[in-house]
A and B are shown apart, each in its own frame.
Chain A
């Protein structure tokens, strides 16, 4: 599963770090570090974290990781 955080929106509320600590971690007082590729086992927690983000800054795959890009050469 892939995710990206819009760090312009992120204001360091740390809800995601509480809900999915294997994916998100606070780095210092306010800055957020996250694993852009999360294990499938984290899907439930990640969905919770994305829903709980007060500024809705977490974007998660809406479709399965596509094979089209890999196979698209030529």
Chain B
């Protein structure tokens, strides 16, 4: 039997299992069928819902402009898949090529795609997190529950964490005329992803729109009343904020616990894979039958020093899923690398924020077009003399230009004059990212290499 024959058989009658029925899982499944896979396809998802889109959950759904259950993703083609929804995967037997499910079933596979994504990090104290009126926002059900509560017209909403999600929630609340307090441990909103220079603009934007923004403070406790409803939040500066809704917006945790003990290179930082989306086992050997895609993947990127990037980006999930699906059905010489340039967007307080590259890797920033004062600008991030990222506030049309600078490792600061450059915006300044040794709200992009101390090859569950 030669290799071609095996691949042909896989395409014709193989069994492919996708764990994680969200954006990455759905796009991978569609791509598999598009590429001519006619074997059996099983989609496993722990939520009861068919694949849905998350970005609208913190925007139009909270504004009341769309309903949470109306965010199901469009189908680009028929899938002819077996759906196992509402049941979580609990284990993986790599030797026997089987996925274990919570209901006791086992699903055999010839190729496995893991796209289990991330989940919201809950408020760490369980009894406080369990108070009525305390929410997180990640899933469709979260959005529906929070949306319902906002529609009831609470007297004040308290948001913990001013990253992108927290800021979008605050924005939606203000638009609905609700009083909002935001507590952020860092010096400014968005500081982990975009640095202090841009963070200061985001802070002004929030305050101008009537957000009671408290930076440099931590929430020490949430207090409930006798009936178990949240009534106040206590802050590290000694102040207390009375509130009837708390939204915990502290980033996300990767869904890898179910792989504990499987021998797959999966941990709190995600599942390590090569540029072709093939997962590594804990010995650092690449598997040939297990692929990963989306928020849970961690893959090396040649543009960024081959560092392992975990990207919680919509476009990354789509692109990585398509690459994984393609590679699954391809000879090694025909496989493609996942080299998507990181890009994300956010809309808050009426401003369109878009970014390309990895701003959080930058040390300097140059406002190359527009001005910070007008809140219409492009900021270019520099790292060791090259352009590494860019962010635009209401200037999105220019970003493809900056993406090209990043892709061609153009020098920083850019040597040529830009259109619409404001006077005084000519010189790079410190991008003012927080000291990474001080805990703060994590960036949307995390970079991490292999730790030399990781020699024992044991699985460390996240806490």
Contacts and interface: CB of A to CB of B under 8 A. Distances in A.
A63 B343 contact: no
Contacts of B272: none
Contacts of A7: 55, 314, 345
A63 B50 contact: no
B409 interface: no
Nearest to A33: B60
Interface in B301-355: 314-315, 318, 343-345, 347, 349-352, 354
A35 B65 contact: yes
A55 to B, nearest CB: 9
Contact of B77 (A2, A36, A62, A72): A62
A65 B314 CA distance: 22
A2 B71 CA distance: 8
Most buried by A among B66, B70, B74, B80: B74
Interface in B255-279: none
A74 B345 contact: no
B98 interface: no
A47 to B, nearest CB: 13
Given A31-B347, A31-B350, A2 B79 contact: no
B397 A65 contact: no
Given A29-B350, A34-B60, A4 B78 contact: no
Contacts of B76: 59, 62-63
Contact of A72 (B78, B81, B394): B81
B66 A29 contact: no
Contact of B78 (A2, A10, A37, A66): A66
B82 interface: yes
A6 B73 contact: no
Contacts of B349: 28
Contact of A37 (B70, B80, B85): B70
B53 interface: yes
B74 A3 contact: yes
Contacts of B315: 6, 8
Nearest to B30: A62
Contacts of B345: 7-8, 10
A69 interface: yes
B396 interface: yes
Interface of B: 43, 48, 50-51, 53, 55-56, 59-60, 63, 65-67, 70-87, 314-315, 318, 343-345, 347, 349-352, 354, 376, 394, 396-397
